[in-house]
Amino acid sequence: MPSLVRRILCVGVLLGIASFPLANAIPLPLKLKASIPGYAVYSIVVDQYAKRTLKRMDRWEEEVFNITDPRDFDESVPLLNPSQLRKTISKRTGLVTSSVYRKSWRKWHLTRNKSNSAASAIKPGQNYEFAYRSYVNAEEYMEIAASFFNWKMFGLTHSKKSEMMIHDQDAIDKANNQYKVSMIDTFKLGLFLPLSCTWYGTICNPRDSKPRIIWSKTEATIGRKKKDRPAGAEKLASIPWDIVKCDDGMVSFQRGDVGYLVFDKCQ
């Protein structure tokens, strides 16, 4: 984190602390009222930091978006193995916010294995969790801001990492070349209301050199209510995911022209 941003965050925290009345005799409503300005200042500072971080992440991806050969990367960008890549993920945000490390993820993504068949790597009964994605949007912004406990934590944020499950072979698959797959995104709204969106699909040709996930249905759950095929999720699920790399438990998916996502096998 840049030193200037760190200092601004510290000032925001100090203002928040200083805004709390020290006298216990002050009525609770007045205490709450007095604490609001300090927390507001702190939240604004965090909000600006999150926006700046998101812009930098987006800019770094644009710098390497057109690179299709890992040999074209600058020597300052190391080629990391999956074990090293796992260590680049922030424990606070669950994201990779370093310029060099984000470029390292793309370099790894472009470095193909001799055999890309998912047959030996992806099997029924295996579970994976989200590790990384190349494109960024409001979700990353919310996660960064909420990780510092600013007011974004009262909005829609992830309550856990997205999970992908490989199920048994489809019963109607006579050619033995499809696996069922599901993915669930879990959120919380306002700290307490649980939300989730489940994607259902099929891994086509898992033994082929070009396996692909075709998503067939989505389902949203808000509290105890379920909604089939929500419009937003259905639009996102309309793009197939090509499995382009399997390496030491990590699976990289190319999502059309949007970018790529990486899921890591649960240990």
State whether 135 and 205 are in the same domain.
Answer: yes
State whether 76 and 139 are in the same domain.
Answer: yes
Q: Which domain holds residue 9?
A: 3-49
Domain count, the chain: 2
Question: Helix-strand-coil percent breakdown of the chain, rounded to 5?
Answer: 35, 30, 35
- Residuewise pLDDT in 10s, the chain (267 residues): 555 455 555 545 444 444 444 334 445 454 445 577 888 888 999 999 999 999 999 999 999 999 999 999 999 999 999 999 999 999 999 999 999 999 999 999 999 876 555 656 788 889 999 999 999 999 999 999 999 999 998 999 999 999 999 987 655 555 556 789 999 999 999 888 999 999 999 998 777 778 899 999 999 999 989 999 999 999 999 999 999 999 999 999 999 999 999 999 997
State whether 150 and 167 are in the same domain.
Answer: yes
Q: How many CB atoms lie within 10 A of CB 239?
A: 15
State whether 221 and 121 are in the same domain.
Answer: yes
State whether 73 and 154 are in the same domain.
Answer: yes
State whether 22 and 152 are in the same domain.
Answer: no
Considering all CA atoms of the chain, what is the largest pairwise distance in Å, rounded to the nearest integer?
A: 76
State whether 57 and 24 are in the same domain.
Answer: no
Considering the entire predicted model, what is its pTM?
0.84
State whether 90 and 24 are in the same domain.
Answer: no
pLDDT at position 23: 38
State whether 109 and 179 are in the same domain.
Answer: yes
Note the helical H segments in the chain.
3-18, 28-64, 82-86, 99-110, 138-147, 231-237
State whether 21 and 59 are in the same domain.
Answer: no
Query: pLDDT tens, 30-68?
Result: 444 557 788 888 899 999 999 999 999 999 999 999 999
DSSP 58-110: HHHHHHHTT--SGGGS-TTS----HHHHHTTS-TTTSS---HHHHHHHHHHHH
State whether 28 and 109 are in the same domain.
Answer: no
State whether 34 and 110 are in the same domain.
Answer: no
Amino acid identity for residue 265 in this structure: K
pLDDT at position 172: 53
**What is the H or E stretch that residue 169 is in?**
strand 163-169
